[in-house]
Chains A and B, each alone.
Chain A
Amino acid sequence: MMTPKENYMAVTRGKKPDQIPIYATNMIEFLHFYYDVPLKTLLDDPDIHVDVTARSVQEFGFDCVVPGIAFILFGCGPEIGVQWEFLGDNLPGTVGGLINSEDDISKITIPNSPSGYFFNYIQILSKLNKRIGKRVFVLGFVLGPFSTACFLRGIENTMLDAVDNVELFKKYIPLGVDFSIYFGKNVLEVGLPTCPLLEIFVSPDLIGSEYYHKNVAPYDNQVCSHFEKAGLTVPNTYSPFMGNPGDKESQRVGRDMYDYFWGTKESIEVIRRAIKHSIPGYPGIISMSGRMLVEWSADDIMDFLKEALKLLVKENQMYPAIRLASLQTASREEAQDVAEKLKMIIDIAHSYPL
């Protein structure tokens, strides 16, 4: 009998698992409402974050879990000088970057060791891995250079600088690379099975392939190859979605794959289109967004899931993972409703004949 972790690892290798695994990510708001813990506590107290995450794994039977999905935790928190503001019981937002002019760049230094919210993130990953990591696949992210630059300089400024103020962009993006390597070093030390590069502000909906390959990919590649040289892997999970520059067909396929993996447009048709292609290291996926879990009726969700499983498992001999792409809820009532739906989803997945 495979452990949940082995089930998940089997599908990432295209092998037959004992049961269809469940991959849960982006669930901080769900944990907040469902277990009645203030969001700020989940960010400030790694022990509580680990407790509620482990409880959710126990209660719902997740096979793979991605804890700590909150931008402030990824390394560009107030500990490096980026200004954040907390308003009510909501996730915080940035209110000021560090780079307002060229002179500011030289004042920014890479820390020697994690502190503040990044320290909390490392603690969350490390403690959760110690607690459930033998049985459950725990995944952590390494913030990529472009997204780091967006926090240091502001999103709009960074996006514009890359084309409009190239000289300045070229002066601060190496700092993004250095920070990303520093984040990666600390996340990898936790000893998780994989730690992909996370470019929060990069998706085929937001930026084009040409822009990506000119202004993002070269710096992502610097980070990935830095670790590769040391025999470590930080996979760049965004690049497959961006297509090749000048190649409209590959860009269209990339967008299809993005919709498929991220559950941005759940439909059987999206799955049917996407499974004509494959991305090495990715399992077949049935992505279900928080939007779907909140707005669709339980019957509609179950019908979709059964049809998707039939398409992938029976008709295409694939072993998918069910990816709960964003367990985001806006109230306790919504969280309870989603929890009921989750239990039904997991019952179907774990008992589906393979």
Chain B
Amino acid sequence: MATQDIYDAVIQYNGKGIADLVQAELDSGTDIEILLKQGLISPMDKIGQDFSEGELFIPEMLMAAKAMKKGLEVLRPHLTQTASKPKGTVIIGTVHGDLHDIGKNLVTMMLEGAGFKVIDLGVNVETKKFIDATNEHDAKIVGLSALLTTTMPAMEKTVTALKKEIPGIKIMVGGAPVTQSSANKIGAEGYGEDAPSAVKLAREFI
């Protein structure tokens, strides 16, 4: 029942009490895996689904992600001590020349909410930094974001270099100037129209 309270806190964007709820559940011995999946990942799936269906919007998604993160912070130290492993590691960043980050931040939050470990490299990220981080963290997925049309060539350059340096890497791209067709053209494996579809792609890639 208390796991349901955590679920409800995320769904209702109630970040205030969620840390206490998670701590109380941990103290009472609830399985960490259950807490993570049913209390934090499951409501974020629902939030993502509602966003895709036009029932929720960016402010609500931000609120839910903020609540989820507060719960996750309490859980995180315990996750490393158990068999519970992240679903996979995703390297994410806004491409070189571009300083816009709201789309990237939303994808980061939703991926974390779906149980992925996300290494956020920030904005204006050079190709080499993507390659180094992917190697360092042994990541299998890279997410590239862009808002400016003029930074599309930088995105293409990064995709090409990543594929050359790290064979087998799965790359997903997104942002205002990006489409499925442009993603195909530059050789990315996936195009995410919004944050929930980026999560869907990442799940497919794992």
Contacts and interface: CB of A to CB of B under 8 A. Distances in A.
Contacts of A87: 96-99, 124
A251 to B, nearest CB: 8
A206 interface: yes
A185 B99 CA distance: 31
Contacts of A93: 98-100, 123, 147-148
A211 B59 contact: yes
Given A159-B58, A160-B59, A39 B105 contact: no
B80 to A, nearest CB: 28
Contacts of B96: 87-88
B99 A92 contact: yes
Contacts of A295: 179, 181-182
A281 interface: no
Most chain A Cβ neighbours within 10 Å, of B56, B60, B105, B150? B150
Contacts of A270: none
Contacts of B171: none
Interface string A84-98: 010111111111000
Contact of A331 (B100, B153, B182): B153
A178 B100 CA distance: 26
B13 A163 contact: yes
B151 interface: yes
Contacts of A207: 57-59
A156 B102 contact: yes
Contacts of A328: 149, 177
Contacts, number: 77
Contacts of A39: 150
Interface in B81-127: 96-100, 102, 105, 123-124
Most chain A Cβ neighbours within 10 Å, of B62, B99, B152, B179? B99
Interface residues of B, number: 31
A17 B62 CA distance: 47
B105 A160 contact: no
A156 B62 contact: yes
Interface string B137-160: 000000000011111110000000
Most chain B Cβ neighbours within 10 Å, of A39, A90, A290? A90
B54 interface: yes
A206 B58 contact: yes
Contacts of A153: none
A152 to B, nearest CB: 16
Nearest to A33: B150
A163 B16 CA distance: 13
A89 B98 CA distance: 10
A232 interface: no
A159 B150 contact: no
Given A206-B57, A207-B58, A29 B98 contact: no
Nearest to A212: B57
Contact of B98 (A90, A159, A160): A90
Interface in A197-228: 205-208, 211
B177 A156 contact: no
B59 to A, nearest CB: 4
A295 B98 CA distance: 22
Most chain B Cβ neighbours within 10 Å, of A91, A164, A211, A330? A330
B37 interface: no
Most chain A Cβ neighbours within 10 Å, of B13, B102, B181? B102
A29 B124 CA distance: 19
A5 interface: no
Contact of A330 (B15, B62, B147, B152): B152
B66 A160 contact: yes
Contacts of B99: 85, 87, 92-95
A162 interface: yes
Contact of B59 (A29, A92, A159, A290): A159
Contact of A29 (B13, B102, B150, B179): B150
Nearest to A93: B99
Most chain A Cβ neighbours within 10 Å, of B56, B58, B96, B153? B58
Contacts of A272: none
A189 B179 CA distance: 40
A255 B54 contact: yes
5 contacts: A29-B149, A87-B97, A93-B147, A159-B58, A163-B59
Given A87-B99, A93-B98, A291-B177, 10 more contacts: A87-B98, A90-B150, A93-B99, A94-B99, A159-B59, A163-B63, A208-B57, A211-B57, A211-B60, A295-B179
Interface of B: 13, 15, 54, 56-60, 62-63, 66, 96-100, 102, 105, 123-124, 147-153, 177, 179, 181-182
